[in-house]
Amino acid sequence: MAKIAPRTRLTREDSQKLTRARLLEAARELFIDRGYGGTSLRDIAAAAGYSQGAFYSNFPSKEALLLELLKEHMSFKMTQLRGLLDTAANAAELMTAIDDWASGINDLADWSILAVELRLHANRSAEFAEAYAPMEAAHRADLAKLLALLFERCGKQHPDNCDVLAEGLIALTDGMALNREGGRAPPVGPAIVSLLRTLISAAPSTN
């Protein structure tokens, strides 16, 4: 008779990491489905299969969890884009990779809608804005750097105001996401890439 391998007991640290990950995943799905205001702390804990006590053992508030989730999402997007810029052999391959990346994003519009809600919440809550504003500014600065690098990798002079371009693309993305919900706009990712292609094509060559 074959021996059954004993179950490996999770350490306290591993168990807490698993609980935290499950809470973040449950919150991500609920925030996208119901919005920030429509999701309670109790909802998140229940969806993850834990008590409210387990929630408070990992996050001091719903806002703190949201900021952690947002930080992870922003970091993941930037890492993906940096990877495309680092691995593409030439400009054509780079733009094709970005096209594929944009077409494969399923939750971009959902996150954009949530981002609009977060900005509104930041306008109403000074405490939330104090933590949210630096994170949003850092994300905008990272995107500006990647945009400048994108132009350079395509052999084009990047605009002097890439920070303004980054802000404009973020605003356009969020606006298109809201319009998409009413059936008034095309898919967000491909439309943004189409705009980038136009801007890059019109930029002066570095040669």
Residues 40 and 86 in one domain: no
Residues 45 and 78 in one domain: no
Summarize pLDDT for 161-171 with one digit per residue, the tens. 999 999 988 88
Question: Does residue 137 sit within a domain?
Answer: yes
Summarize pLDDT for 35-87 with one digit per residue, the tens. 888 899 999 999 999 999 999 999 999 989 988 888 888 888 889 889 988 88
Question: Does residue 3 sit within a domain?
Answer: no
3-state SS, one letter per residue, for the chain: CCCCCCCCCCCHHHHHHHHHHHHHHHHHHHHHHHCCCCCCHHHHHHHHCCCHHHHHHHCCCHHHHHHHHHHHHHHHHHHHHHHHHHHCCCHHHHHHHHHHHHHCCCCHHHHHHHHHHHHHHHHHCHHHHHHHHHHHHHHHHHHHHHHHHHHHHCCECCCCCHHHHHHHHHHHHHHHHHHHHCCCCCCHHHHHHHHHHHHHHHCCECC
Domain that holds residue 41: 12-59
Residues 158 and 49: their CA atoms lie apart, in Å, by 49
pLDDT at residue 33 greater than cutoff 80:
yes
Domain count, the chain: 2
Q: Nearest CA to 143 among 73, 95, 82, 204?
A: 82
Question: Does residue 55 sit within a domain?
Answer: yes
Mean per-residue pLDDT of the chain: 84
Give the CATH number of the domain where residue 42 resides.
1.10.10.60
